[in-house]
A and B are shown apart, each in its own frame.
Chain A
Amino acid sequence: MTTGDGAPSSSRVFVVRRDQDIYIHTLRKLFNESHGIFMGLQRSEEELAGKSRKAQLVQVSKNYRSVIRACMEDMHQAAALKLGPAFLQVSILSAMELIWNLCEILFVEAATAGPLLLRLLDWVRLHVCDVDSMVREVLSSESPSKHKLFWNVVDVFVLQGRMDEARHLLSKEASANPASMNMYKILDDLMKKMPVPSLGNTQTLTELELKWQHWHEECQRYLQDGTFASNPHMESICKILLGDEDAILEKKELMTTWYHFLVTRLLYSHPTVKPMELRFYAQSSMDLFLGGESSPEPLDLILMAAFEFEMHQVIKECSIVLSNWWFVAHLTDLLDHCKLLQSHNLYFGSNMREFLLLEYASGLFSHHSLWQLGVDYFDHCPQFGRVYLELHIERVPLSTEQKALKVLRICEQRQMHEQVRSICKIMAMKALRNNRLGSALSWSIRAKDAAFATLISDRFLKDYCEKGCFSDLDLIDNLGPSMLLSDRLTFLGKYREFHRLYGEKRFAEAARLLLTLMTAHIAPCSFWMTLLTDALPLLEQKEVIFSAEQTYELMRCLEDLTAGNPDKQKFQDDDVETTKVEMLRLALARNLARVIVKEGTVEGS
């Protein structure tokens, strides 16, 4: 890796090995803004056909480019404060914008012969800025025509086809130097009359070619007549106007790049160049310009591939050279929307656009914060996007409940039920470990996880057995319809209701509820003893609460309970347990006696 002179528009592309790009602060804006543009593109009207669709796509391309430029501006400002990788980044971004702009002209807009040249001229003017400072210096000096770089600046204007500005400067020279007034007038006239393609439909290509041919001959005549012989500067300008390659090549330092040379050549020798002819001129321009002294850089090869309309080659070269998938992913997606990429199937089945988007989004997921953008990209990869998303989303660390909620919402919106269950389980377990039973329950309700709800209810019941009272009454008293999520939970709710009814002295209802709990089999077997023990105070009341039917039921439950465990040593040896059973039997018998009498008695009027 060579360190350049740090000039922002250096035409070198540096190969950076480690992907640190996503962590650069200023680049985050690029990722976020381009995500917005990407989503807009995916959602845009497919029904628009022809010109309006093309205009829409060109606008999208321009939006992407303005985002790159904004990022470059920020980086430039950041670079002013501290050196280091910022310079590198600025030049990489500049190269990206250069390539993108060319692709926009050639592929997205698909400029035809005529407008093509105008677009290319704009492109060169925008991107070759090494000469800007020199231009500013000359223009702002008191008498520009006396400046030593004066003719350089005039040459720059001519090479870039900026005729008006060149003529303006020349007029200053003419007024300072009346002797050359005659030459100046002729040159000025030639420059004014030069035919250029127009954007509107005011002239056809044939008309333009005819006019241009005429004008070219006129220039030729003036040159051969020796009109400019006394002023070498003006003579070289005239030669440039005639498209003399050697004359143009002499100004190599002012053009700085072979593609500038290419466009200048085209301007002055083939202004009606067709897109398909570009490749020949491009190749020869590069050869002439580099002249065997230096070999082409990666950027040069990419641009050459673009001029040759080899889209896949462009994408491939960019992928190799750039350290981050951002550029190729978005560019390919745009080209795909322009319906320009054939389904170039890669050997593992997905197409190039999808492959690049998957790679880019996977890179985003490795970032602690940008993973949210990656989700939308996966959504728009029809073949493998969902699978990738399922695998990646599970690995996002859930540091707070709010983050977990966001991840959960993403999964729910895409019906990823497995992931929803798994996330809710993780959060519920965390809550349970921290003794936040209410939170744990709210997570199980979200996942409709009956098994976990049962687990939580068992925890509550265990707490009750140990402490003799319920914890978190605000939760149990207010379960509402979520009670139905699991049998155990329903039991918990109803059991608490029983306690409440008892506390409010509504004994008949309490009794009925208690019985339902046992006979409907929603009470776990381990709890039956507790329930029966709870029945004791009701049996012992002065007033008879349980009816005969109910008492028989209770007795049956008790017998079921004791009969079911004949071999259980603990059950028989435990004095407390045996006493309890005895007491229950006694109470039930007494109650039965009283209730038979009561029910058998004829009520008085």
Chain B
Amino acid sequence: MEDVSAKFVSQKISRTRWRPLPAAALQPPDVFATGSWDNEDNRISIWSAGDLGNAGLNGEYHGEPHLLCDIQHNGDVMDMQFLDQERIVVASSTGTVTIFRHHQNNQTLSADHRWAKAHYHVDQDTSCGGAACTGVVCNNPEIVTVGEDGRINLFRADQKDAVRTIDNADSSTLHAVTFLRTTEILTVNSIGQLKIWDLRQQRNEPSQIFSLAGDRVPLHCVDRHPNQQHIVATGGQDGMLSIWDIRQGTMPVSLLNAHEAEMWEVHFHPSDPDHLFTCSEDGSLWHWDTSTNVSEKPSFLHQGGRSTAYLSHSTMNQSVVSAWLSNDPTKDRMEITNLIPNQTLSVNSLDVLGPCLVYGTDAEAIYVNRQLFA
């Protein structure tokens, strides 16, 4: 817990995202962005995580995050993702999608491009017709957004108008979207359905629909396994974590009773996918660890850097394949840890990259842990 630095920032945080590292980078991530919500004046902020100059004895980084720059944002920040090293796409509760550019030479932010009224109810031109844009995902230069209007938009970063729009893709609210393959996306909605859309096809129908077995509990977040594209994790309104194998069946492979309230975000660790992280309205953040035979791992594998990821994947291929899809929880040991000792208000968002974790809460604080696997 000493490795977690906290900072109270006077705004409720709805999203936190690490800036992606350049391909050959060896050092851990240092810069992250946050978006606020429920303010009269919401802001997108870029932070530097801890003071690099204060390296301790073991090369640990101390110091709390400090603000590099920020910019005013119209409406709540509903979702956010880095398009590349300098640009970040932000989804607003007014239905607008904006690309902001971070100028690193003078540490300022500016709005690069804006798609106003990307999401709207009924009539695009009425001023109060905006519908919240609830999810955004990018695969440079493509950007896909979904919203409360049940619409899916496909944008390209350099084009003024939407490349493609699927109106009424869903009769309920779409809560989140992620890429399955470069031409396929996954969406989750508020009647508990997981849908696959093939963007190459012109018809406005999902290519596959999955749903939960029992009550149609709304699904709030979705993430795909970084290496094995058929494994998908979703989080629901009742705090349940569902793991799906989309090659087979229309129902989840395993249902794990996790949180006591809505699960807001679920993330596989991008380089070490035996680890999964979820955060919830009940104020907890859980670390799910399915890496088996923990004690037999050589010590350097405990650091979650990029270079070690290949090793774990190739030598433990067999166990990795079955870890998440195992129906027998007693066979593959799963360690679940709550990373927050004194929970109070909701943890709205988290992001993991390398050995670093950042999360933001409704208690107007951001937390950075730079020694996740120590």
Contact = CB atoms under 8 A, between A and B. Distances in A.
The judgment on whether A and B are partners is yes
B93 A400 contact: yes
Nearest to B131: A434
Interface of A: 25-26, 28-29, 32-33, 35-36, 39-40, 368-369, 372-373, 376, 399-403, 405-406, 409, 413, 434-439, 441-442, 445, 471-472, 474-475, 478-482
A406 B93 contact: no
B363 interface: yes
Given A32-B364, A442-B216, A368 B40 contact: yes
Interface size class of B (residues with CB under 8 A): 35 or more
Interface stretch (B51-59, B311-319, B340-348): B340-348
B193 interface: yes
Contacts of A434: 121-122, 131, 149
Contacts of A436: 121, 148-150, 171-173
Q: Which of B9, B171, B209, B281 has the most chain A CB within a 10 Å cutoff?
A: B171
B10 interface: yes
A36 B173 contact: no
B216 A32 contact: no
Given A480-B215, A482-B215, A475 B38 contact: no
Contact of B344 (A369, A376, A480): A376
A403 B38 contact: yes
Contacts of A369: 11-12, 38-39
B272 interface: no
Nearest to B218: A442
A434 B148 CA distance: 10
Interface string B33-46: 00001111000000
Contacts of B209: 474, 478
Given A39-B344, A368-B40, A369-B12, A439 B364 contact: no
Interface of B: 8-12, 37-40, 76, 78, 93, 121-122, 131-132, 134, 148-150, 170-173, 189-193, 195, 206, 209, 211-216, 218, 237, 261-262, 281, 342, 344-346, 362-365
A511 B76 CA distance: 52
A450 to B, nearest CB: 15
Given A25-B10, A474-B193, A478-B191, A438 B363 contact: no
Contact of B191 (A35, A373, A401, A442): A442
Q: Is the interface of A mostly helix, strand, loop or mixed?
A: helix
B28 to A, nearest CB: 28
Contacts, number: 134
Contacts of B121: 434-436
B8 A33 contact: yes
A404 to B, nearest CB: 11
A469 to B, nearest CB: 14
B63 to A, nearest CB: 15
B39 A439 contact: no
Contacts of B346: 406
B352 to A, nearest CB: 22
Contacts of A437: 171
Contacts of B262: 405, 409
A33 B345 CA distance: 12
Contacts of B150: 436, 438-439
A28 to B, nearest CB: 4
Nearest to B8: A29
Contact of B190 (A25, A28, A39, A442): A442
Given A369-B39, A445-B215, A438 B281 contact: no
B364 to A, nearest CB: 5
Given A434-B149, A478-B209, A26 B10 contact: yes
15 contacts: A29-B10, A36-B363, A372-B362, A399-B93, A401-B148, A403-B38, A406-B281, A434-B122, A436-B121, A436-B172, A474-B193, A474-B206, A479-B216, A480-B192, A481-B214
A543 B209 CA distance: 35
A227 to B, nearest CB: 54
Contact of A40 (B216, B237, B342): B342
A28 B364 contact: yes
Contacts of A368: 38-40
Given A372-B345, A403-B76, 15 more contacts: A28-B10, A32-B8, A32-B365, A368-B40, A369-B39, A399-B76, A405-B262, A406-B346, A436-B150, A436-B172, A438-B170, A442-B173, A445-B216, A475-B171, A481-B215
